[in-house]
Copies of this chain bind each other. A is one copy, B any other.
Amino acid sequence: MAMKTTRKQNYPQWYQEVVSEADMAENSVSPGCMVMKAWGYGLWERIQRVLDEKIKETGHENYYFPMFIPLSFFQKEADHVEGFAKEMAVVTHSRLVNEDGKLKPASPLEEPLIVRPTSETIIADSFAKWVNSYRDLPILLNQWANVVRWEMRPRLFLRTREFLWQEGHTVHASMQEAEQETVKMLEVYRDFSENALAMPVLVGRKPEHEKFPGAIDTYCIEAMMQDGKALQAGTSHFLGQNFAKSADIKFTNQNNELEYAYTTSWGVSTRLIGGTIMCHADDDGMVVPPHVAPYQIVFVPLIKKSEDSEKIMSYITNIQAQLKQQSAFGEKLRIKIDNRDKANVDKVWEWIRKGAPMVCEIGSRDVESNGLMVKERIFIGRPEGKKIVKADEFVASCGKRLEELQHLMFAKAQKRLQENIRTDITTPEDFAAYYANSNEWIEDDKQGKVAFVRGKWCGDTATEEILKAMKITIRCIPFDQSGTVGKCLLTGKDATMDVIYARSY
């Protein structure tokens, strides 16, 4: 019923199993790409719906730019191309011809086209055309799109060659306004991650060597997975005048002087689904936060004798009709009646493995007693995981209950994050010893083997090599700095900057 592999046995294999058993996605014949199936794509649709509303509420409008970017555009910003050149899909021909029964590319393009790895360069070109005066500013736009980065070690949702995302791009008249925008959108991501996905995050700035290629500053939200590794869940970039200069985005300011504008960009992707899985799923499969669940309540009719069928189905349809008046998270409930011709127990376990927040079983006796059996996903396997309730009580309370379940999921993940950031490691020796000995599994492990360390960093670029050798990364320089003086955990030098060290995806 549950899955073959537990988290403790083999976390990476467990992850693959969750994705597969929840029927969310699978590897494709197209190398390094995935097929997102109904339950996985349904989760993405919910993410899109909720986040899109927040992006619009903050004054942004959706556009759509071409996915093909002329190669020469990448010549313009040196850091940018350096960062992406190694992982670009290049279109070089525009047709196929049949040669001796074999299809071959033909009609070479005058200039090769790059399938967008990100769209700063092509959007900056439009900004340059659209912006003339300070009156044209700011421009606040977003697009939902597919992008391609030629990953060599693809993993479903976490790293696929093609993935889906949103990328926001804005252009401003002042540095200050652009910086505010960058931080504002990071806050939108934090709020979305914590409230819609129930996934707590740390917020901060990336160190120099982890910045987006071409950015002045990159801000990020970082989540903790159940194995103690960090996942970068969203980034927001202050691009300064870098892209404005390479694309010539100039405007006449209020003093009638021509100056370069300031741009930002920010994005989250289908990687959020990977994060949601690794933050919430358990040894029985996926656990979907109710706020973004494609279906929040699934009814499974338990039909033992065919003459009961009509009675049970009309009872369920009646409950469904009443539920249409109810809401959760300010939206109508999303309900599924699973009346497939399949064994009941298999259906119930299918929905548990998919992580539907509530699975309701209704048999002949429930109809007579005017009740139903409710299984709440986060409690499966525990005594409180199933209860028989009266139908009218269920209808009246289930919207609120879904919100409570969401909150419980967040609280659990928040506790894990808070309990697993060590702050008591203060010397390079202890730090090195800690990561040399730490395993990569923390959930339920009270021995104190945590994966995040909050400590000092001297900021030397040379420390990048030490980090690589230790197989750890600096996840972020948190916004909340203590201001104390201590020893850099990598070099032992005096340092004031607090950073978050961790293993990561």
A37 CA to B69 CA, complexed, in Å: 18
**Are B88 and A89 in touch, CB under 8 angstroms?**
no
Chain A 101-120 per-residue mask, 1 if CB under 8 angstroms from chain B, else 0? 01101000000111100000
A341 CA to B36 CA, complexed, in Å: 45
**Are B65 and A28 in touch, CB under 8 angstroms?**
yes
A35 CA to B63 CA, complexed, in Å: 7
Residue A42 at the B interface, CB < 8 A?
A: yes
Interface centre among A36, A73, A103, A164 (most CB of B within 10 A): A103
Chain A 19-45 per-residue mask, 1 if CB under 8 angstroms from chain B, else 0? 000000000111101111110011011
CB distance from A91 to the nearest CB of B (A): 5
CB distance from A235 to the nearest CB of B (A): 23
CB distance from A295 to the nearest CB of B (A): 11
Chain A 458-494 per-residue mask, 1 if CB under 8 angstroms from chain B, else 0? 0000000000000000000000000000000000000
Residue A332 at the B interface, CB < 8 A?
A: no
Q: Which of B37, B89, B135 contacts A91 (CB 8 A)?
A: B89
A38 CA to B61 CA, complexed, in Å: 6
With A65-B28, A67-B146 already in contact, the answer to whether A35 and B91 are too (CB < 8 A) is no
Task: List residues of A (41-85) whose CB comes within 8 Å of B's CBs.
Answer: 41-42, 44-45, 61-75, 81, 85
**Are A70 and B37 in touch, CB under 8 angstroms?**
no
Interface centre among A42, A66, A113, A115 (most CB of B within 10 A): A66
A35 CA to B141 CA, complexed, in Å: 12
Residue A90 at the B interface, CB < 8 A?
A: yes
A103 CA to B73 CA, complexed, in Å: 10
**Are A90 and B88 in touch, CB under 8 angstroms?**
no
**Are A97 and B85 in touch, CB under 8 angstroms?**
yes
With A36-B63, A37-B63, A61-B38 already in contact, the answer to whether A150 and B112 are too (CB < 8 A) is no
With A42-B61, A66-B30, A87-B94 already in contact, the answer to whether A112 and B122 are too (CB < 8 A) is no
Residue A126 at the B interface, CB < 8 A?
A: yes
A249 CA to B243 CA, complexed, in Å: 49
With A75-B103, A91-B89 already in contact, the answer to whether A64 and B81 are too (CB < 8 A) is no
Residue A6 at the B interface, CB < 8 A?
A: no
Residue A162 at the B interface, CB < 8 A?
A: yes
A98 CA to B75 CA, complexed, in Å: 10
Number of A interface residues in the complex (CB < 8 A): 64
A450 CA to B168 CA, complexed, in Å: 47
Inside 8 A of A7's CB, which chain B residues have their CB?
none
Inside 8 A of A33's CB, which chain B residues have their CB?
66, 68
With A85-B97, A103-B71 already in contact, the answer to whether A162 and B42 are too (CB < 8 A) is no
* Minimal Cβ-Cβ distance residue in B for A135: B341
Residue A245 at the B interface, CB < 8 A?
A: no
Residue A209 at the B interface, CB < 8 A?
A: no
Residue A96 at the B interface, CB < 8 A?
A: yes
Inside 8 A of A401's CB, which chain B residues have their CB?
none
With A74-B96, A85-B97, A146-B146 already in contact, the answer to whether A90 and B105 are too (CB < 8 A) is yes
A113 CA to B113 CA, complexed, in Å: 14
Residue A125 at the B interface, CB < 8 A?
A: yes
* Minimal Cβ-Cβ distance residue in B for A94: B150
**Are A35 and B75 in touch, CB under 8 angstroms?**
no
Inside 8 A of A93's CB, which chain B residues have their CB?
89-90, 92, 112
**Are B162 and A68 in touch, CB under 8 angstroms?**
yes
CB distance from A127 to the nearest CB of B (A): 11
Q: Which of B88, B96, B148 contacts A96 (CB 8 A)?
A: B88
* Minimal Cβ-Cβ distance residue in B for A36: B64
CB distance from A244 to the nearest CB of B (A): 17
CB distance from A140 to the nearest CB of B (A): 10
Inside 8 A of A67's CB, which chain B residues have their CB?
146, 162
Interface centre among A64, A68, A94, A125 (most CB of B within 10 A): A64
CB distance from A34 to the nearest CB of B (A): 7
Inside 8 A of A105's CB, which chain B residues have their CB?
71, 90, 92, 112
By a beta-carbon cutoff of 8 Å, the part of chain A in contact with chain B is 28-31, 33-38, 41-42, 44-45, 61-75, 81, 85-98, 102-103, 105, 112-115, 122, 125-126, 135, 141, 145-146, 148, 150, 161-162, 164, 341
A-B pairs with the 8 shortest C-beta distances?
A33-B66, A30-B66, A38-B61, A36-B64, A90-B93, A85-B96, A90-B105, A94-B150
A90-B92, A91-B92 given; name 18 further pairs at CB < 8 Å. A28-B65, A35-B65, A36-B63, A38-B62, A41-B61, A42-B61, A42-B62, A68-B148, A85-B96, A88-B95, A89-B91, A90-B94, A90-B96, A90-B105, A92-B92, A93-B112, A95-B150, A135-B341
